[in-house]
Amino acid sequence: MADYYPPVGFHFKVEFGAVSPEIDHQFQSVSGLSVDIETEEFAEGGENRFKHKLPVRTKFPNLVLKRGLVSDSKLIKWCKDAVENFDFSPTDITIKLLNNEHEPLVTWNVVHAYPVKWSVSDFNAEQNSIAIETIELAYNYFKS
């Protein structure tokens, strides 16, 4: 039996559908790939020990992408169109966890994503750090 090693979490790729070129696909972190099932409590008459919890719908948090600040970015232009002009153009996003041959191990397809927040890290003359931009995206759901 071959040894199994879990995949590393630092080798991944983010692809935006028709929004931006390859330079815009490089991120240092991705978070928000999770799903919760909302429940509704139902009290049954005569049963006082507990309430039944029934599944209602799924809930997906915002997707948060971080990277070093990129000037002249089509992705940031897309974000600014939404934030400044209230012009939303949702797109699908593909996130791929890669193996050591740069081939996808797991792929998540994020459906109907659009920007809801864009921010830049604090500037501090006392620290030697890269300016980080954060893009937060709302989306309908993801499939893996």
Q: What is the CATH number of the domain that holds 124?
A: 2.30.110.20
**CA gap 101, 91 in Å, rounded:** 28
Closest CA to 58 of 75, 74, 80, 34: 34
Torsion over CA: 85, 90, 95, 101 (sign): negative
71, part of any domain: yes
pLDDT cut 90: percent of the chain above it: 54
**CA gap 83, 138 in Å, rounded:** 13
Looking at the predicted structure, is the pLDDT value of residue 141 above 90? yes
50, part of any domain: no
DSSP-H helix ranges across the chain: 74-85
Q: How many domains does the chain have?
A: 1
54, part of any domain: no
98, part of any domain: yes
43, part of any domain: no
52, part of any domain: no
Mean pLDDT of the residues in the chain: 89
Q: Which range among 40-49, 84-93, 132-141 shows the weakest confidence by mean pLDDT?
A: 40-49
Looking at the predicted structure, is the pLDDT value of residue 2 above 80? no
Closest CA to 51 of 62, 59, 60, 40: 40
Domain containing 72 equals 12-33+61-143
